C-alpha cells in the first residue's frame, strides 16, 4: 500500500513538473508572439520604435540629455509622430497647421492638463503657466491689464536700462584684467534683478561686482531641472512618496523658494501699507509693479487670492521674466561669437543709430566727449527708450533669429480632453498628451527652407528691406492663440535695451574648447554656462 502511495505521489509530481514546463513554454511563446506582432504592426509607423509595456521609454532615457535634438531627428522623418510611454502616449507635432489647430482652432481641447499640473504643481502651483479654466482666465485678465499699462512700460524701461548699465560696468572691469566670465550667470542675475523690481517692486541686488550667492536662484534652477525629468521618469512618484534621492533634494529646493517668495510678499505688503517706507515718491514709483496689483486685488475676498496665490504669481513671473529672457540673451551672445559678421553688422547699425538719434535729442551735444568709459555708456543709454529701440531693425531680426533656433521653451506639452483628429489626419485620444516642439520646428526644412539650420538674421527682411514677421504658428517662441505670451513686448524691450548697450561697447570671445550645449530643463538653459572673455570697444 505504501508503495502504491509513493508511486501515486511520483506520478502526480511528474505531471506537475510537466505542466509547469508546458506552461512556461506557452507563456514564453505567447510573449514572443506578442512582441513580434507588436513590432510587426509598427513596421510602417513613423517615429521611435515602441516595445510592449515600456513603449519607447528606454530609447527616450538614453537620449534624454539631448532630448530636443532627439525630437528634431524624428520631426525630420515625420511632421507628426507618436511617443508611447508606460502610462501614456505623447503625440509630437511640428507642422504649423497642426500647431494652429492645437493652440487656436480647438484650443479648449488641449489644456495644460492634469498630468502637467501634477508634475509642476509644487514649483508653479496654480500660476498662469500651470492652470486652466477660470483660474487661468482670471490671472490672464489681470496680467493683461498690467502689461497694457503705460506706467509699467515706462517703469520697465528705466529698470532694464539701469540693470544693463550695471552689467556693462561688470563687463568693463572684466575686460581690463582679461577675466574669464560666465555670461549666462551674469544674464540670469540681470533678469532676476529686473523681474524682482518690475514685477514685485523690490531690489535684491544679485548683479554686482561681488556676485553674492543667490540661494533662491540655485534652488529655482534645481527645481526646474527636476520637474522636467519627471515627464520621462515613471518612478518619480515613488521617490517623492519615500522622500529619497532627487525628490528629497527637490523638497529642500522648494522650501528655499517658498521662504524667498513669502518673505517677498510680506515685505511688499508692508511697503504698500507704509510700514517700512516713508518716501512717498518711492512708493508712487514702485506701485507700478505687478505684485502690488495682485496684493490689492487679494484684499477683496471675492477674488479668492491667498498668500499661496500670490506666491504662485511670483514663481510664474520669475520663470517668464528671468529664465526665458536670460536664455535668449545667452544664446544670442553665443551666436554672435561664432558669427562675427553678424556682430559687426549689429555694431554698424548701433553706430549709425547713435549718430542719428543724437541729432534728434534736444540738448544732446555729441561734440562734448564724455571723459570715462562709464560716462560714454551712460550717454549712449540715455538715447534708448521704447520708441527709439524700434529703429534697430537688424538687432531685432537677430534676436528673432536666435529665438527661432533657440526658443526659451523648446518643448511645450498639452493634455487632450477629447478624442480628436489633427489636420494631417493623425488621431489623438482623450487622456493622452500632445507636445509641439518649437526647437525642432525652427530646424525643419519644410518650415524654413533649405537653410533652416543656418543662423541668418537676413531671412526676416522682405525684398524692400523691412522686417517681416512670420505666423505665430510657425514661429512659436511666444506661443499663439489665447495663450500668446503677454510679456512679448516687454521681453523684446529688455533684450534690445541690454544688447544695444553690450554690442555697442563690447566684443565677446568664447573660451576655446568650452562646451556649449543645453541642459534639459523647462527652459533652454546652457548646461555649462557661457564662458568667455570680453574686450571693450574704444570707439
274 vs 75: which has the higher pLDDT: 75
Residue 36 pLDDT: 43
pLDDT in tens, 283-305: 444 456 888 888 888 888 877 88
Residue 282 pLDDT: 46
Helices (H) and strands (E) in the chain, counts: 22, 11
**Per-residue pLDDT averaged across 49-67, rounded?**
93
Judged by DSSP in three states, 166 sits in helix
Alpha helix (H) residue ranges in 42-82? 57-62, 67-77
Mean pLDDT of the chain: 88
Residue 485 marked in a binding site:
yes
Residue 431 has pLDDT above 50, yes or no: yes
pLDDT in tens, 77-86: 999 999 999 9
φ and ψ of 284, to 5 deg: -65, -35
For residues 210 and 186, what is the distance between their CA atoms, to the nearest angstrom? Answer: 12
Q: How many CB atoms lie within 10 A of CB 396?
A: 19
Residue 11 pLDDT: 44
**Per-residue pLDDT averaged across 108-122, rounded?**
93
Cβ burial, residue 333 (10 Å; 0-12/13-18/19+): buried
Amino acid at each position: 500500500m505504501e508503495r502504491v502511495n509513493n508511486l501515486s505521489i511520483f506520478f502526480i509530481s511528474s505531471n506537475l513538473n510537466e505542466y509547469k514546463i508546458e506552461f512556461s513554454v506557452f507563456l514564453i511563446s505567447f510573449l514572443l508572439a506578442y512582441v513580434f506582432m507588436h513590432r510587426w504592426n509598427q513596421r510602417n509607423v513613423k517615429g521611435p520604435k515602441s516595445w510592449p509595456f515600456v513603449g519607447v521609454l528606454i530609447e527616450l532615457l538614453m537620449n534624454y540629455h539631448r532630448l530636443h535634438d532627439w525630437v528634431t531627428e524624428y520631426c525630420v522623418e515625420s511632421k507628426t509622430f507618436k511617443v508611447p510611454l508606460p502610462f501614456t502616449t505623447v503625440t509630437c507635432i511640428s507642422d504649423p497647421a497642426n500647431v494652429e489647430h492645437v493652440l487656436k482652432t480647438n484650443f479648449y481641447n488641449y489644456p495644460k492638463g492634469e498630468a502637467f499640473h501634477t508634475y509642476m504643481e509644487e514649483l508653479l502651483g496654480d500660476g498662469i503657466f500651470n492652470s486652466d479654466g477660470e483660474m487661468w482666465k482670471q490671472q490672464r485678465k489681470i496680467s493683461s491689464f498690467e502689461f497694457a499699462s503705460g506706467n509699467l512700460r515706462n517703469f520697465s524701461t528705466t529698470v532694464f536700462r539701469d540693470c544693463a548699465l550695471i552689467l556693462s560696468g561688470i563687463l568693463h572691469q572684466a575686460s581690463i584684467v582679461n577675466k574669464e566670465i560666465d555670461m549666462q550667470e551674469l544674464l540670469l542675475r540681470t533678469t532676476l534683478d529686473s523681474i524682482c523690481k518690475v514685477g514685485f517692486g523690490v531690489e535684491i541686488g544679485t548683479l554686482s561686482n561681488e556676485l553674492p550667492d543667490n540661494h533662491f536662484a540655485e534652488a529655482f534652477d534645481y527645481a526646474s531641472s527636476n520637474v522636467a525629468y519627471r515627464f520621462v521618469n515613471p518612478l518619480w512618484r515613488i521617490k517623492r512618496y519615500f522622500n529619497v534621492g532627487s525628490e528629497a533634494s527637490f523638497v529642500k529646493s522648494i522650501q528655499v523658494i517658498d521662504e524667498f517668495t513669502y518673505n517677498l510678499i510680506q515685505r511688499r505688503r508692508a511697503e504698500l501699507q507704509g510700514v517700512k517706507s516713508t518716501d512717498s515718491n518711492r512708493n508712487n514709483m514702485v506701485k507700478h509693479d505687478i505684485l502690488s496689483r495682485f496684493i490689492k486685488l487679494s484684499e477683496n475676498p471675492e477674488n479668492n487670492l491667498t498668500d499661496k496665490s500670490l506666491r504662485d504669481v511670483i514663481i510664474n513671473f520669475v520663470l517668464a521674466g528671468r529664465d526665458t529672457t536670460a536664455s535668449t540673451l545667452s544664446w544670442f551672445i553665443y551666436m554672435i561669437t561664432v558669427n562675427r559678421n553678424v556682430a559687426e553688422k549689429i555694431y554698424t547699425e548701433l553706430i549709425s543709430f547713435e549718430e542719428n538719434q543724437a541729432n534728434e535729442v534736444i540738448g544732446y551735444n555729441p561734440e562734448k566727449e564724455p571723459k570715462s568709459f562709464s560716462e560714454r555708456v551712460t550717454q549712449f543709454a540715455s538715447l534708448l527708450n521704447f520708441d527709439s529701440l524700434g529703429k534697430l531693425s537688424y538687432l531685432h531680426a537677430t534676436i528673432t533669429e536666435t529665438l527661432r533656433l533657440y526658443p526659451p521653451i523648446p518643448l511645450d506639452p498639452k493634455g487632450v480632453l477629447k478624442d480628436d483628429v489633427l489636420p494631417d489626419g493623425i488621431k489623438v485620444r482623450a487622456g493622452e498628451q500632445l507636445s509641439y516642439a518649437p526647437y525642432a520646428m525652427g530646424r525643419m526644412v519644410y518650415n524654413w527652407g533649405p537653410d533652416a539650420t543656418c543662423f541668418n538674421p537676413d531671412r526676416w527682411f522682405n525684398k524692400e528691406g523691412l522686417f517681416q514677421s512670420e505666423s505665430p504658428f510657425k514661429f512659436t517662441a511666444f506661443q499663439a492663440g489665447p495663450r500668446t505670451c503677454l510679456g512679448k513686448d516687454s521681453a523684446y524691450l529688455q533684450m534690445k535695451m541690454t544688447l544695444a548697450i553690450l554690442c555697442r561697447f563690447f566684443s565677446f570671445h568664447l573660451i576655446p574648447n568650452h562646451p556649449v550645449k543645453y541642459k534639459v530643463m523647462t527652459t533652454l538653459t546652457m548646461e555649462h554656462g557661457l564662458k568667455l572673455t570680453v574686450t571693450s570697444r574704444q570707439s
